[in-house]
Chain A
Amino acid sequence: MYMKPGVGVKDIIVSDKLCKGCYLCIWACPWDVFEISKERNWRGVKKPVAVRLDQCRRCRLCEFYCPDFAIQVIIDEEEEKMLKEVEEKYEKPWLPRVEERDRIVKEGVWWLED
């Protein structure tokens, strides 16, 4: 994966959709980048927030130990672009297939009709 030595990153995203609040990222981070937010999000989780972005050493330990794929360290624009590309190439073509499946399920299963 994309690694670059240095200090400080552009952004660390913690997903509202996926984070369950186990705080393994806080346990994993050697540089004390995160803090637990005071408010609950729409899923009722007090998410960790990366408050000290300038302290981040880009080791990605928080990403590795997150069991729910909720954290992404975005080092710079280049990485952001790469993420967008992955979304376009892999995730976008998948979703119509899911919709198609849901449509078929909604219509009913043909072999059960008489």
Chain B
Amino acid sequence: MFSERDFEHYLAKKYMRTEIMPHAFCPGCGLGIIERMILMAFEELGEEEWKRTAFVSGIGCSGWVPLYFRRDAAHTLHGRALAFATALKLSKPDLNVIVVMGDGDSMGIGGNHLIHAARRNVDLTAIIATNMLYSLTGGQMSPTTPQGARTNTTPYGNIEPNFDLMKLLEAAGATYLARWTTYHFVQAKNSIKKAIKHKGFAAIEIVFQCPTYAGRYILGKPDPRDMMDWFKEVSVPLGKAKTMSPEELQGKIVVGEFLHRTDRPEYTEQVYKIIEKAQKKGGR
């Protein structure tokens, strides 16, 4: 009944701009899996939720993720996605605003916006796609590149220690935090679902495979299948990681749901309360 020539998957038919597909990502790139996680989360949340969602993305390969959805999406300046998203959320508080950023985009050039969005606890869902380097520009070192790894800008090995995003955002004041890899498909989808429902700043870091640069330069595994096996090997669940020493955790990816708290006030609500208060006093 269906011809294989121009077939698309069920989720693509339902949610995606099939006229511009296949997407521009390299073969085996994990960004497509992240797209699917988002779409499956919405498939379970229902159409109502999908209809009041808007996407914001930064620059980078990962910035292309929401541009394939049949939803409004803003492709903003490099690193400034969260600033744009905060304004969008303030002007339309009923919207679900989902921000998709790369690691260089969120922690490198946009690090300042990231910590302040977390500090204010703005009701956003930040999906941070980590591939351990800057990939759109050709494989330069980023704040998540492992120590000792060779990239285009660190030909003798990276000497910089990298960020632990979860600790950084916990200290800054985020209220929902999770980290998964593309290997942990179902868990990541459930976390995205929770984060969309959560009121407050939610960040989900998804480590994904970039066979073209991270695979070739950092890991020496240009095949996406080997990278998936590597994710399976090095990821440690949070509960087990707590019993391990820092030396044992070297080179591992700790995955799990790191934080879920509801005791901090949300920014948009506060702003609207202030507006109401000011209007009652007649501006004085």
- Which residues of chain A have a CB within 8 Å of any CB of chain B? 1, 13-18, 20-24, 26-27, 42, 63-72, 74, 80, 82-84, 86-87, 90-91, 94-95, 98
Contacts and interface: CB of A to CB of B under 8 A. Distances in A.
Interface in B47-82: 70
Interface in B28-56: 28-33, 35-36, 40, 43
Q: Would you list the 8 A-B pairs with minimal beta carbon distance, nearest first?
A: A67-B32, A22-B28, A20-B27, A69-B9, A15-B7, A27-B225, A69-B12, A22-B27
Contacts of A90: 13-15, 70
Contacts of B11: 69
Interface string B115-128: 00000000000000
B233 to A, nearest CB: 14
Interface of B: 1-2, 4-19, 21-23, 25-33, 35-36, 40, 43, 70, 185, 211, 224-225, 228-229
B33 A67 contact: yes
B4 A24 contact: no
A66 B225 contact: no
11 contacts: A1-B43, A14-B4, A15-B9, A23-B28, A27-B228, A64-B185, A67-B31, A69-B11, A69-B16, A74-B2, A86-B13
Given A64-B36, A66-B9, A66-B32, 8 more contacts: A17-B8, A18-B12, A66-B36, A68-B25, A68-B32, A69-B32, A80-B2, A91-B8
Nearest to A87: B13
A98 B18 CA distance: 10
A46 to B, nearest CB: 12
B9 A65 contact: no
Nearest to A42: B5
B33 A91 contact: no
A21 B27 CA distance: 7
Nearest to A23: B225
A17 B25 contact: no
B19 A98 contact: yes
Contacts of A14: 4
Contact of B70 (A15, A42, A69, A94): A94
A13 B4 CA distance: 6
B39 to A, nearest CB: 9
Contact of B28 (A20, A72, A86, A91): A20
B7 A22 contact: no
Nearest to A89: B14
Contacts of B19: 95, 98
A13 B5 CA distance: 10
Contact of B22 (A1, A17, A80): A17
A90 B39 CA distance: 14
Nearest to B31: A67
A24 B22 contact: no
Contacts of A24: 28, 224-225, 228
B53 to A, nearest CB: 16
A21 to B, nearest CB: 6
B224 A20 contact: no
Contacts of B22: 17-18, 20, 68, 70
Given A86-B14, A90-B14, A94-B70, A72 B9 contact: yes
A80 B19 CA distance: 22
Contacts of A98: 17, 19
A71 B30 CA distance: 16
A64 B211 CA distance: 18
B48 to A, nearest CB: 15
